[in-house]
Amino acid sequence: MNAEKLIYLLTFLALMCACQSNKASSAIEKPAGWELLDVPSNASLRGLSPLTSEIIWASGSKGTWLLTTDGGNTWISGVIDGLDSVDFRDIEGLSASTAIAISAGQPAVIYKTTNAGKTWVKKYEGPADAFLDGIAFFKDQKGYVIGDPVGGKWMVLETLDQGETWKWLDSSPKAEQGEGSFAASGSTILVDRDYVLFSSGGLKSRIFYSADGGHQWEIYDTPILQGEPSQGIFSLSKLDNQNLIAVGGDYLKPDLADRNAILSDQANGTWRMKSESLPTGYRSGVAYFPRYHWAIAVGPNGSDYSKDGGLTWERFSDEGFHAVFMDKAQGSVWASGIDGKIARLVY
């Protein structure tokens, strides 16, 4: 090799090394925080359903619903069917025009819009002692709502026609005394092609799992903080097709960082706790962001993240929220909270 070629080769290798070094130095190690958006509401927003980085639905107290189709630059909003005293604690967006919202407390109702919120039509109303906690869909057609036990039996509602009709499954499992679910973020229920999974809290905090659409159920104990009405699992998220994460704690003690995050291998249903580090308080929402392998957990006193699947946690923001979700296109993460607060994760 002559000198000219050698110099060229060495220069090329040096440039390649420099590029790799720059890439390594610019790698994103942790979330930078939250970008708070200008939202035309002062409601407490617990319902949140981002479809893409542009289309986001939200719902909350005072019958509030909101929709943006431009990533939060502008919003349209209103009150669902005039129910300005009802708290719609969860919402499922199916498109930029179609969404389904559920209330917590009375009346226990499910409403649907197909014209971007211009009108809302009631699709279901539960009994006088019903309390709905969360809604989840698979592929827009099949969906489930979990509600607190009525007469000792969980309310597991199913739709197979995009929320037009709902059926309380006769096969819904039984609950123990003092056991309920939490409507803190609408995320105590997960739905996939063949399975439904939801969590309880209070005197007992367990996992209810069905592999056949809610016809047969398996029940698993968990090691999360429990035993009081304010304690237990408040949110669930999938890390992948096998592994799950749950967060919670005690909502009456927002700074208590005790047994508030647990992990499971869905294959065997065993839930475990790692004590290396925990989220820094009660956490009402958790979402997994596969782009950076981050689990993001939020609660009233701040936000934490884990980059190792929930084994260890680090606080990255003092901004508090009720709920956190990744959009269905898996390109962005959003959070909602008190006083009309909606934010986008910055990284």
**CATH label of the domain that carries residue 190:** 2.120.10.10
From CA 67, how far away is CA 40, in angstroms rounded? 11
Identify the pLDDT of residue 275.
67
DSSP string, 28-72: --S--EEEE---S--S-EEEEEESSSS-EEEEESTTEEEEESSTT
- Please give the backbone phi and psi of residue 6, each rounded to the nearest 5 degrees, phi first: -65, -45
Which stretch of DSSP H or E encloses residue 78?
strand 76-79
pTM for this predicted structure = 0.91
Identify the pLDDT of residue 169.
98
Asked whether residue 159 is domain-assigned, the answer is: yes
Q: Which ranges constitute the DSSP H helices of the chain? A: 3-25
Asked whether residue 168 is domain-assigned, the answer is: yes
From CA 329, how far away is CA 321, in angstroms rounded? 22
Identify the pLDDT of residue 243.
92
Asked whether residue 220 is domain-assigned, the answer is: yes
Asked whether residue 296 is domain-assigned, the answer is: no
From the CB of residue 230, how many other CB atoms can be counted at a distance below 10 Å?
15
Asked whether residue 300 is domain-assigned, the answer is: no
Residue 171 structural domain: 34-246+319-346
Q: Nearest-CA neighbor of 158 among 171, 145, 172?
A: 145
Asked whether residue 262 is domain-assigned, the answer is: no
From CA 35, how far away is CA 233, in angstroms rounded? 27
Residue segments in the chain with a per-residue pLDDT below the cut of 70? 1-26, 275
Question: Which one-letter DSSP state was computed for residue 174?
Answer: B
From CA 110, how far away is CA 92, in angstroms rounded? 11
Asked whether residue 183 is domain-assigned, the answer is: yes
Looking at the structure of the chain, the number of domains it has is: 1
With contact defined as beta carbons under 8 Å apart, do 274 and 310 qualify?
Answer: yes
Asked whether residue 302 is domain-assigned, the answer is: no
Which amino acid does the sequence have at 323? A
From CA 89, how far away is CA 112, in angstroms rounded? 14
Question: Which one-letter DSSP state was computed for residue 131?
Answer: -
With contact defined as beta carbons under 8 Å apart, do 289 and 344 qualify?
Answer: no
Identify the pLDDT of residue 23.
40
Identify the pLDDT of residue 332.
98
From CA 186, how far away is CA 33, in angstroms rounded? 23
